[in-house]
Chain A
């Protein structure tokens, strides 16, 4: 098989697979331009003329407020989660201290407990601290993120040379300075990957806001979207438009960080 033919075949296969992957997203965008009643009369491939009406329905549900809440929760969760995970990962990977392995095992064990099991206790805890009625209960679970700690520990172990850290210390660098000046530079791909994952998980979280949030002004996107319609008539077109708008930040983040994301995911796959 000639090189040209091989390239053409590969390109065709990739193109077909891309169509399969992107078509649902395209249809989601197009469905948001239809009137609800016209959505299921056939496969919708071309945009319709109902976009403005659907936008009005979405806007009438105070979607801007809901959107802002989701942005605050997801951004804060991401920043805090990545910061704490990277700090803890640095400690586990590059420091020796008493009970290190036992503590690390305990952190890993918490990953085995399904989140739903601790939900009631978590709500009680939030009440006890007096944080109900705020967005903080949606942010705090991500701050202590066992997966993030495990991920960062493994990454720092393999990607940050101990010799570089020791050189920095010999030159008089404090531990905090070593972390921010040296370690951060090495673990940029892992930070991007973890940021994207935490942002996505937090953005799509439905159960915790459903249980914890009792004020409409604190609703996040998953809760806000369910209110676009009634029990018997769901305005799916408006909901789909809401989903499209809700997907935008995640898409933008993936577009910006895709290279680092893939580098982060594939780190350690080849022993160097």
Chain B
């Protein structure tokens, strides 16, 4: 009897312990007596083992943690290690689209944030809005804003303070397959093509001829998303004034996208899919959108052929898209060491030269005073000086359009609309406007969509 009772007691106890574990696995406690430094607390960026920022390079010692989705550029990393031999970098690989998710959970749980985050352009507004990044104008960073381009300040600031430093240029042109351009447009010379295709109306008319001549086998772009990326960058003004949607600007972009779609000169692929990547190696599409990072990251890796591509100004002028920046989270233990990495790679002549060897052009303004700095060739483009094309011809026709966190919500709505545009030829501008307004209302009620 006693044995039975004891067994029952043990069973009840076991069940309670088990249930407790189950509940904690699902619910957990709100304990906060952790030994690690909580995120989001007051800055202690200089409190690590980083030494003095004014000290000699080899006095700085320690390791900083970077969250990034790609290996850092090898030449610039080697140059950095040569200058700062005692600073080590530890990269934690976090997919670009997962950075905000991991940040939010880490902050909510009081976990330890990294010392520096690589911020992809598409996530920038969201991360900026989280208010977790250090003001880089304050000590110990003391950013010298004059070394960057003037437009960088607006693009990488929040509440009038610089909170991230741009890593790579993101001005964009249009790349084209030279043999196809020669065959269907009569020339593969970039300047002649620019004269031939100065605006989107002419581009559409020429595109119709190309499709007709090729019997539908060759089109101008693989995806309507490419066209939209260019048209969005060329829009006449920002999509939002604070929380108010500029419907005229949105309608103009949508109208232009629909005009291109209805002309039948663009294929129906979704952008950034494996099939879209593979299209660069085919002979089906003459043109591809091509921001500065595209030759290194997309065209080169996806097309083994050398010297097959040319670069020109897009119809309607240059545009800005993509790119990434670096920000230091508040409370970073070794923010000062991380800052040395940002400063070296993005704000010095040595860094700019090292990054260029990796195919990256930084925003260090002074480097561009030397006209030869922009001389840049890339195997896919043969001997064309694409640096000259990007930083002289295309830059001259490019303007930066301010964005805020509402642009992210609009981007989500737009990606659905673009897919519908491609699949349903009857889906027009008014339907798209209505769809976008509905999405904005559902996802961000604070937006005045008109």
Q: Complex Cα distance A140/B303, Å? A: 46
Partner of A124, one of B28, B93, B96, B102: B28
Q: Are B18 and A120 in contact (CB under 8 A)?
A: no
Partner of B92, one of A100, A117, A118, A216: A216
Q: Are B112 and A214 in contact (CB under 8 A)?
A: yes
How does the 8 Å CB contact mask read for B186-208 relative to A, with 1 for contact and 0 for none?
00000000000000000000000
Q: Are B24 and A125 in contact (CB under 8 A)?
A: yes
Q: A91-B15, A132-B36, A232-B298 are in contact. Are A144 and B22 (CB under 8 A)?
A: yes
| A41 proximity list for chain B (CB < 8 A) | 278, 281-282
| A128 proximity list for chain B (CB < 8 A) | 29, 31-34
Q: Are B278 and A127 in contact (CB under 8 A)?
A: no
How does the 8 Å CB contact mask read for B84-100 relative to A, with 1 for contact and 0 for none?
00000011111110100
Q: Looking at the assembled complex, report how far the CB atom of A212 sits from the nearest CB atom of chain B, in whole angstroms.
A: 9
Q: Are A88 and B18 in contact (CB under 8 A)?
A: yes
With contacts A115-B26, A121-B30 known, what are 4 further pairs, Cβ within 8 A? Answer: A88-B18, A100-B15, A149-B18, A223-B93
Q: For the complex, is B11 an interface residue (Cβ under 8 Å from A)?
A: yes
Partner of B109, one of A38, A110, A127, A230: A127
Q: For the complex, is A37 an interface residue (Cβ under 8 Å from B)?
A: yes
Q: For the complex, is B301 an interface residue (Cβ under 8 Å from A)?
A: yes
Specify the chain B residue showing the minimal Cβ separation from A232: B297
Q: Are B102 and A37 in contact (CB under 8 A)?
A: no
Q: For the complex, is A186 an interface residue (Cβ under 8 Å from B)?
A: no
Q: Which range holds the interface residue count of chain A? A: 35 or more
Most central of A96, A121, A223, A236 by chain B CB within 10 Å: A121
Q: Are A210 and B281 in contact (CB under 8 A)?
A: no
Q: Are A175 and B278 in contact (CB under 8 A)?
A: no
How does the 8 Å CB contact mask read for A194-214 relative to B, with 1 for contact and 0 for none?
000000000000000011001
Q: For the complex, is B277 an interface residue (Cβ under 8 Å from A)?
A: yes
Q: For the complex, is A271 an interface residue (Cβ under 8 Å from B)?
A: no
| B275 proximity list for chain A (CB < 8 A) | 40
How does the 8 Å CB contact mask read for B16-29 relative to A, with 1 for contact and 0 for none?
10110111111111
Q: For the complex, is A233 an interface residue (Cβ under 8 Å from B)?
A: yes
Q: Complex Cα distance A146/B29, Å? A: 19
Q: For the complex, is A36 an interface residue (Cβ under 8 Å from B)?
A: yes
Specify the chain B residue showing the minimal Cβ separation from A104: B15
Specify the chain A residue showing the minimal Cβ separation from B69: A231
Q: Complex Cα distance A210/B98, Å? A: 8
| A84 proximity list for chain B (CB < 8 A) | 18
Q: For the complex, is A123 an interface residue (Cβ under 8 Å from B)?
A: yes
Specify the chain B residue showing the minimal Cβ separation from A214: B92
* CB-contacts of A121-143 with B (<8 A): 121-125, 127-128, 130, 132, 140-141, 143
Q: Are A118 and B27 in contact (CB under 8 A)?
A: yes
Q: For the complex, is A97 an interface residue (Cβ under 8 Å from B)?
A: yes
Specify the chain B residue showing the minimal Cβ separation from A146: B22
Specify the chain B residue showing the minimal Cβ separation from A169: B3
Q: For the complex, is A219 an interface residue (Cβ under 8 Å from B)?
A: yes
Partner of A118, one of B28, B278, B302: B28
| A231 proximity list for chain B (CB < 8 A) | 69-70, 95-96, 120, 297, 324
Q: Complex Cα distance A227/B293, Å? A: 19
Q: Looking at the assembled complex, report how far the CB atom of B272 sits from the nearest CB atom of chain A, in whole angstroms.
A: 8
| B95 proximity list for chain A (CB < 8 A) | 226, 231
Q: Are A37 and B25 in contact (CB under 8 A)?
A: no
Q: For the complex, is A113 an interface residue (Cβ under 8 Å from B)?
A: yes
Q: For the complex, is B147 an interface residue (Cβ under 8 Å from A)?
A: no
Q: Complex Cα distance A233/B111, Å? A: 31
* CB-contacts of B97-148 with A (<8 A): 98, 101-102, 105-106, 108-112, 114, 120
Q: A95-B7, A115-B26 are in contact. Are A103 and B298 (CB under 8 A)?
A: no
Partner of A125, one of B29, B71, B101: B29
How does the 8 Å CB contact mask read for A27-52 relative to B, with 1 for contact and 0 for none?
00000000011111100000000000
Q: A41-B278, A106-B19, A233-B298 are in contact. Are A127 and B34 (CB under 8 A)?
A: yes
Q: For the complex, is B274 an interface residue (Cβ under 8 Å from A)?
A: yes
